[in-house]
């Protein structure tokens, strides 16, 4: 019987091994991303929203990782805790100013995961410096906003809010389509509650009870 061809990830691991670099190790990932994305040590992930960034951070955090959040005051602590982020192991640096690169690099040295509000322009040399630091330390960088040379980019679309009736009620939950793009590979898509009415992030099931009263977002 012919042996199965190695996957792209297996080939990358072999090249890293031959070049003396440690192979990327899987990191605890939120169950909502099953089939969409597996976090890997030493990698960078860019997201289009704070909600997605928090969901990515929640997996490693709930598994015991220390996390840092740099460059944003937008993090909702209650929502982050509901998503699974352990606030007692989370360091916040909301306004590092011009020292964002030094602060981010220093946190990568000591923390498992760093979330960064990406600056509008990041020089290539700074991207290279951060990437090298991540590989050396086995950390993960999650950026809210675009980041050059990300290992994967996550965006969301088809946003639908639930909880609003006929002119009454409160927004209680949100369904979104999450798209994960890794290099030139075909994008993977999944429908998520971000979050559901209990403030839990999870995949949307097909049960009728999961069907919300919807208010479609235009953004």
Give the domain CATH number at 73: 3.40.50.300
pLDDT of residue 162: 79
pTM of the model: 0.81
Domain range holding 167?
Answer: 155-216
Among 152, 168, 200, give the residue marking a domain's end.
152
Residues 6+ apart with CB under 8 A from 177: 156, 157, 158, 189, 190, 191, 192
Sign of the Cα torsion 179, 150, 218, 162 reads positive
Q: Do 109 and 195 share a domain, yes or no?
A: no
Tens-of-pLDDT digits for all 219 residues of the chain? 444 555 555 555 555 555 444 556 999 999 999 999 999 999 999 999 999 999 999 999 999 999 999 999 889 999 899 999 999 999 999 999 999 999 999 999 999 999 999 888 899 999 999 999 999 999 999 999 989 989 999 999 999 987 655 444 456 789 999 999 999 999 999 999 999 988 899 999 744 445 554 444 433
pLDDT of residue 179: 98
pLDDT of residue 163: 67
Q: In angstroms, how far is CA 29 from the centroid of its own chain?
A: 9
| Cα 219 to Cα 91, 142, 171, 207, distances in angstroms | 30, 22, 16, 27
Count structural domains, the chain. Answer: 2
Least Cα distance to 114 among 155, 156, 56, 62 occurs for 56
Read off the tokens for 67. Answer: 């996390």
| Radius of gyration of the CA atoms of the chain, in A | 18
pLDDT of residue 7: 55
Q: Do 113 and 99 share a domain, yes or no?
A: yes
């Amino acid at each position: 019987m012919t042996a199965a061809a190695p996957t792209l990830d297996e080939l990358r691991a072999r090249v890293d091994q031959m070049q003396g670099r440690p192979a990327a190790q899987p990191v605890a990932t939120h169950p909502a991303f099953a089939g969409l994305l597996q976090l890997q040590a030493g990698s960078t992930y860019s997201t289009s929203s704070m909600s997605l960034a928090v969901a990515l951070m929640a997996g490693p955090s709930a598994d015991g990782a220390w996390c840092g959040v740099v460059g944003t005051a937008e993090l909702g602590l209650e929502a982050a805790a509901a998503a699974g982020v352990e606030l007692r192991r989370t360091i916040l640096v909301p306004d590092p100013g011009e020292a964002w690169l030094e602060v981010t690099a220093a946190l990568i040295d000591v923390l498992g995961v760093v979330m960064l509000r990406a600056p509008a322009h990041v020089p290539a040399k700074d991207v290279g410096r951060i990437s090298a630091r991540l590989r050396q330390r086995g950390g993960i960088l999650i950026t809210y906003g675009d980041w050059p040379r990300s290992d994967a980019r996550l965006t969301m679309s088809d946003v639908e809010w639930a909880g609003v009736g006929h002119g009454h009620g409160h927004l209680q939950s949100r369904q979104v389509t999450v798209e994960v793009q890794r290099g030139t590979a075909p994008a993977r898509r999944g429908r998520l509650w971000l979050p559901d009415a209990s403030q839990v992030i999870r995949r949307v099931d097909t049960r009728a009870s999961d069907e919300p009263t919807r208010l479609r977002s235009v953004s």
